[in-house]
Amino acid sequence: MNPEQLITQRVKEAVESLYGQCPEDSYFQTQATRKEFEGDITAVMFPLLKISKKSPEQTGEEIGKFITPRCPEIESYNIVKGFLNIKLSGSYWMSVFNKISDTPDWGQQESSGKRVVVEYSSPNTNKPLHLGHIRNNLLGWSVAKLLEANGHNVVKVNLVNDRGIHICKSMIAWEKYGEGETPESSGIKGDHLVGKYYVKFNSALKEQISSLITSGLSEEEAEKNAPLMKEAQEMLVKWERGDKGVVDLWRTMNGWVYEGFDITYNRMGVSFDKIYYESQTYLLGKKLVSEGLDKGVFYKKEDGSVWCDLTSDGLDEKLLLRSDGTSVYMTQDLGTAHQRFEEYSFDKHIYVVGNEQNYHFQVLRFLLKKLGFEWFDSIYHLSYGMVELPEGKMKSREGTVVDADDLIENMISTARETSMALGKLENMENHEKEELYAMLGLGALKYFIIKVDPKKTMLFDPKESIDFNGNTGPFIQYTHTRIRSIIRKALEQNLTQQITGAPLNKKEIEIVKLLNLFPERIREAGREHSPAIIANYAYELAKEFNQYYHEVSILKEEDISVKSQRLVLIDTISAVLRKAMGILGISLPERM
């Protein structure tokens, strides 16, 4: 049992013995002792006063006197108003240290037997991945790893939005302005090439709308009657009818995009257990909509469009099929959710999608419920904030986004420049240096994005993220290499790593306490779906090690038993750092 559980149990025993009552668990409150007071665990006395019928100080004194001689793990206690501060013995912390060092995968939770599907990435095939997608992918990947650390069976999935009006826009523009351009002929990465024509479409559409407004139409009428928009809508209808020319062009251009996506995913270090395609799932959604019509759950308007009235649920009327029979995003989300439950019988399905889609997923749950699916409540929207830049928000249609490939390359380049300026990486081969630059650049990018609570909008600053000091990925990576350097030197000197029972000093006890918190941090982060908790835990642990490194001698310690034990301690720190950062998808170098 952890320290708080231990003290809670002892306080319960004291209350029962002293006051003849055993109240419910809510009466017993424990927490880590605040740093300005002496102690490890604090028991709050106020809830117990109804039972003791005494002052907070008297109650604390009686309980402290009762448990101290009966609990060998307790060294001393003190009372500050209504708080009983308990200091645990060095031998207790030594037993904790032994347990942690003897557990190879410290922090990993036992199997829960639950299956969780995590959907992330979900790109459109009309543009390359950008900074917003990077947050989505890194968050989705790390949430999946975090859930695995919590003992769940996780299935990582991606739904590619490979059909719809957006891809038709790129296709129309390529037909009109492309002159047969391909990734091979242009030397442009496939997803970038298709994105180029998406921007071109919107630029040309803007001109047409402006012209129509000048001729007297309203903005809404102009957008609806613009020739380019009509062509895109007609192409979508042709695609859904299986027109060979349209389908062939669609396959070709999507193929270019997939090749480009794969390169970016590989560089980011993310992958999926299964990739779904909207073009293969929207028909399943249409079938469910048809069944909903038969059941009277949905209704059809005079123009042939299909809707669901959710006004009685505090929402609005939701379109499910357009009047021309084409489907919307909600249609395919219904079909995909149903297919995944049939395939995996999941206990939970997490959608990692930005907070601008909060309403969409609220509606999805209601529709699944109305269709009679009992698992509707297993749907969970992990709603995260947008990534903004010092210049403001990004706009895909105008081509003002931060491209994912460019950003990754810039991060690696910045890592190279920073490392060279600091005079690091001496005595390394060039290929080793390049591998390390990539590790540092991606570590900086991933950590900077993941350390922010998912719910918050974040401001991305590449320069701040690459700093070797402060709460950054490179700081933790450099801390790890410092530990590994000490371990290598110890091996060269034939020094052994062994817990000898040498008394732990105050700083060592603080580190053991922090190491002991790791399993609870994993559980807490899992409950909150927040890898940020793990990121900031890793930073705290790295910071504690660096303070320890500057305060005590390790390799120069004269007492061999103390030296051997300290080597075990720092080796354990590096193992926990690897586990924590591994959950975030960040590699830690052995040397730097």
Do residue 374 and residue 441 come from a single domain? no
Give how far Cα 574 sits from Cα of 439, 483, 545, Å.
Answer: 17, 7, 9
**CA 69 from centre of chain:** 46
Does 307 reside within a domain? yes
Do residue 423 and residue 459 come from a single domain? yes
Check: CB of residue 423 under 8 Å from CB of residue 412: no
3-state helix, strand, coil in the chain (%, to 5): 60, 10, 30
Rounded to 10 deg, the angle between the 190-214 and 244-268 helix axes is: 120
Q: Which domain holds residue 564?
A: 406-583
Do residue 425 and residue 529 come from a single domain? yes
Find where tokens 């979508």 sit.
Answer: 236
Do residue 364 and residue 410 come from a single domain? no
pLDDT of res. 230: 94
Do residue 239 and residue 379 come from a single domain? yes
pLDDT of res. 417: 86
pLDDT of res. 394: 43
Does 305 reside within a domain? yes
Tell me the residue length of the chain: 592
- The structural domain count of the chain equals 3
Secondary structure of residue 381 in the 3-state scheme: strand
Do residue 382 and residue 460 come from a single domain? no
Check: CB of residue 340 under 8 Å from CB of residue 157: yes
Find where tokens 């970038």 sit.
Answer: 192
Tell me the two tokens of residue 392. 């403001």
pTM of the model: 0.91
Does 105 reside within a domain? no
Do residue 322 and residue 232 come from a single domain? yes
Sheet with strand 379-384: strands edge to edge: 274-277, 153-160, 115-119, 348-354, 379-384
Do residue 142 and residue 67 come from a single domain? no
Write the pLDDT tens digit of every residue in 285-317: 999 999 999 999 999 999 999 999 999 999 999
pLDDT of res. 423: 67
* HEC sequence for 10-53: HHHHHHHHHHCCCCCHHHCEEEECCCCCCCCEEEECHHHHHHHC
Helix (DSSP H) and strand (DSSP E) numbers for the chain: 22, 14
Does 394 reside within a domain? no
Closest by CA to 174, choosing from 257, 280, 264, is 257
Give how far Cα 368 sits from Cα of 155, 306, 338, 360, 375, Å.
Answer: 21, 16, 9, 12, 8
pLDDT along the chain (592 residues), means of 10: 92 95 91 93 96 96 96 96 96 97 96 98 93 94 98 97 91 96 97 95 95 92 93 92 96 97 96 94 92 95 95 94 88 94 98 96 96 97 87 49 88 87 74 92 94 91 77 95 96 96 96 97 97 98 97 96 98 98 96 85
| Residue where a domain stops, chosen among 353, 388, 423 | 388
Does 393 reside within a domain? no
505 Cβ contact list (under 8 Å, min separation 6): 552
pLDDT of res. 392: 52
Does 115 reside within a domain? no
pLDDT of res. 163: 86
